[in-house]
Structure 1
Amino acid sequence: MSPTAQVSPTLTKVTRRAVFPFTAIVGQEEMKLALLLNVIDPKIGGVMIMGDRGTGKSTTIRALADLLPEIEVIADDPFNSHPSDPELMSDEARDRRDRDEELPVMRRKVQMIDLPLGATEDRVCGTIDIEKALSEGVKAFEPGLLAKANRGILYVDEVNLLDDHLVDVLLDSAASGWNTVEREGISIRHPARFVLVGSGNPEEGELRPQLLDRFGMHAEIRTVKDPQLRVKIVEERSEFDQNPADYLERHHSEQEGLQNKIVEAQNLLPSVKIDYELRVQISQVCSELDVDGLRGDLVTNRAAKAIAALEGRTEVTVDDIRRVVTLCLRHRLRKDPLESIDSGYKVQKVFASVFGVELSEESQG
């Protein structure tokens, strides 16, 4: 998801399997906002989406991947390496560039990789063929899912049921941007810059707090209760299933508009500033909520800048912080089994106190 990516011409016609358009998804604003902000700034650290079954989690994530503009990649590189940015190149691609080799370039849709629940570490990280390495003297590497997900989206459904060790591996790669595979004294690494999206149902168990804290944002989604809104969701889905091509054509201009907005936001992000006073107040909120570590401060600052960029501004406002602070901090609070207050409400209450603003009606509701 390079800031230099151009708007894709493939939106003008349906050339691939039809995917429900992102702009047609009704409700679930919190989840949609968290995903958009991570696409604008992948360094936010991914999204954990917890909610009821059948609330459109997978549909929304696939829709986002389909919406994103095409990216330039080195055609014969298995890691989707960027043709000119060394930070997004594999070591092999960088060596080829340093030798002034001509690198074939192609455009490709942003990949969304599904991580199966029963995946092994070899399947995720890749494997080294020791026999070939010893007999032929080459680093024979079979890329895994992390290689395919580079510069894309890695989606883990039911992440709370995934082996803790694998979750650690995913989070380490997402944080460092690199995946390293070592075996029998041979080490291979490749770029693994991806937006990590996990989803799950709280009824099936929670993630350990130290793992949950590593996700940049945490969105909670609930089944829609309003009967009229439920009818609208069902009707929209039925229309899409009956005639995907017509449905996509009707939403083409909205999709193109949002795609342009994302590209502009990615380009604008480096110019966005946040006042020192606001940064101090963000850290005060984290301190009063007794948030461990500094991840909460960092992620809230990044997310506030990303939302300002999304709206075409270069200055972060108090309202920008209000809209992201719950997403960034609710999962970092220490759990008190005797406390009945909702973690999101608690974050908004402390935010309102520190920033000297009124608690919004939405938060009180």
Structure 2
Amino acid sequence: MTDPMRTALATAYAHGPGKSIQASNRTVRPDRYRAAHSVALGSLADIPDFGPALVRTLTAALAPHRWEPWNPHNDHRAYPSPRCVYLTDAALRLGEHRWPIDPVRLLLEGERRLPDPSTVTSATVELTVEPHRLSDGYGTLRDALALLEAGHLSSALVEAGRANGLAVHASPQVGGGGSGVVAEVTIRHSTAVTWPWQQVSAARSSALGPRGLSADPRPLPAGVLQRLLQDSRPPTGSLAGRRGGGALRHRLAVRGVTGFTDGLYELGEGGLMALRPGQATQGIQSAFRFGPADIDVTGMNVVWVISADVDDVIRGQGPDGYTNALLSAGAAAQHVCSAAAAAGLFCRPVRSLDEPATEAAVQADIGEDIVYMLLVGRPRAQDFCYDLTDPEEPTWQ
């Protein structure tokens, strides 16, 4: 094994259990650079054919959607971020030139003028990560969290673009290049709406209340879970790839769903395959440092576990294999989050867990590592929040 591959494996295994996520004295809010010159994102609407759809796509995927005044991590967008710090920055590239995007003020930053709209045939969104925005207490785990978030954002762009009738394709960038870009999303004109707008615009619940994170204890109808499985299939152009193929495995611990026996399942192209009946969510609860009063894992309707054989991935893809696996896992998780929102469910991604205990609970193979976990259920009550989205229905639908 080459030295770069050994380094990649060591990095992956350093993201395992034992990390402290206690906040340090250092602020977790980034001192974000603000450009002296900028242009309104809406100026892109002048691009023939796909300009207005491009503006709608970037706004839907990047801009804040709501603000929860009671929540210490209160500004929410179309994709989740640890403590709402937002570790991923996006920049728009048109031809050879790029403009950092301010997602809050909806501005393209920089002194360079936009090109003649008639010459623009495609746009590319470059994603870079800033793990240092999380507190030092996260250790090297913050690197993994940043890449997972970048995967989420790439899928948010793919979904929003396809819902606006655009051809969208996300791709990982090997080694980050000289610019530190970890993924790119290329957007072009198309003629068909190929993704439901409901999965882009549905209100997303964090399911976090004053008494912690828990699901409605009433049984969940079977049709809701079936819809979740169907609607979370990755679309063309997603970094998630084909479900049931590639480096990732998906296992679901199911509880309290009408028509489904409580137990552990594996998800592939053919749907759910039963692995073991019983209280599968109960076994996963012990993998959390938090008790049921804080995060009631046992009471979730679905605990969606994403895993990968990191050693095989790195041997097959080289040192960038682990990075690609994290991006892919984040991308797949975003599609689950969107499908859950459309079905009236919450979908809470988590990474602060005891990996060996989780691996035992889901019957992971030797050498297999937990990459990501999603807690899914019906909210007990609607979150109290300020809605920041446009109250008018989009006229293009």
TM-score by length of 1: 0.24
Of Structure 1 and Structure 2, the greater helix share is in: 1
TM-score by length of 2: 0.23
Of Structure 1 and Structure 2, the greater strand share is in: 2
